[in-house]
Amino acid sequence: MLVVGLLSMVASVQSSDPLQKYTISAPGINATFIPYGARLTNLYVNDKNGEPQDVVLGFDDPADYIRNDQTVHNYFGPVVGRYANRIKNGTFTVQGVTSHIPQNENGGRDTLHGGKIGYDQRNWTVVSANSTSITFSLLDLGFEGFPGNVITYATYTVSPGPTWTSRLVSLPLDEPTPIMLANHVYWNLGAFVDAAGSTVLNNTLHMPYAARYVEIDNIEVPTGAIGTVKGNFLDFTSPKQIGRDIESAINNCGYNCTGYDNAFILDRPRYSGPESTDLSMLTLSSNSTGIQMDIYTNQQSLQIYTCDNTNGTIPVKQSQQHDDGTTNVEKYGCIVIETQQWIDGVNHPEWGQDQYQIYTVDSEPAVVFARYDFSVVGDC
């Protein structure tokens, strides 16, 4: 009865247009979303000259998100789930029940971002909206073979700072199930304003608490081993330009791929806590615009992908066209930062991730909190 009641409630307020744009704003920031994937399409913050710059990738025409999902499927800006990142063999067992999820990557050897039709391709419902905040909901009736039914709320808020805050809250309604959501935003803080700003290679990245990472095989599925970054190209525990060591990252993002696509483990200091949001987990800045972003999250991992496979075939948005000619997204033209738990933790009980990835009707909800604080380098 609970599921039927929720379904009726959601249907009664469902937006008639999943591609309708909703913009929220606060001093120094404005952000636009569409219900299709509960997706961020634009985010403007001021650069070092006081000019607003759109620092996320996507499309001007919302219909292009659907076209992209039906072809190359880049996952520009949505919520991904029910389980973000990869699941080995598309299979897992929870409380003695084995589930098989469609294997949509690497010739059927793993599941990526929830299966063939994940949360990113679902039409979410707008349940509340005002000038500074919007909330979407999605009722997942066992999509893609995941066990049980789950309702999720995605609330996005902008505030002076300027700050964008994302809160993803999921409630299982009946059966035990893995839940691991993430925002899948493609960032370019350089906003393509000049040649250096057309890639993230000159961006400075700092992850002070990311001294460990999840080791992966040649299709980017965890091996079960945990590595340390000290002294190698994965070490961003001190500020470092992304491009400094990237040429050493050979086969690091899959076979015959050079670049970053790694799950970094967040080991907060002892005076903090495993899910505390008191410390910045990541700082990223661009010399081209002077824009800096700090991320605070309750998650225990950051998946970092440096757009190693973009190839110049997708044009940037009109808001990011700063030259006479069309600017396209080249290799290393962006960076994805997914705040989440450990990749494929559902298949590695030895990691002790079950309490953060397996949820039941009598457990706490699954909550992904992420706060993005923007500033200008030198003004912090």
The whole-angstrom separation of Cα 258 and Cα 246 is: 7
The whole-angstrom separation of Cα 168 and Cα 54 is: 23
Q: What radius of gyration, in Å, describes the C-alpha atoms of the chain?
A: 20
Q: Return the closest-CA partner of residue 338 out of 311, 308, 306.
A: 306
The whole-angstrom separation of Cα 152 and Cα 79 is: 11
Which two three-digit tokens encode residue 62? 């919302």
Which two three-digit tokens encode residue 230? 């000290």
164 and 157 Cβ atoms separated by less than 8 Å: yes
Q: Return the closest-CA partner of residue 9 out of 143, 155, 170, 153.
A: 153
Which of 144, 175, 220, 338 does the annotation list as catalytic? 338
Which of 175, 184, 220, 348 does the annotation list as catalytic? 184
126 and 135 Cβ atoms separated by less than 8 Å: yes
Whether 338 is catalytic? yes
Q: Is the dihedral of CA 92, 99, 298, 32 positive or negative?
A: positive
Residue positions annotated with a catalytic role: 184, 338
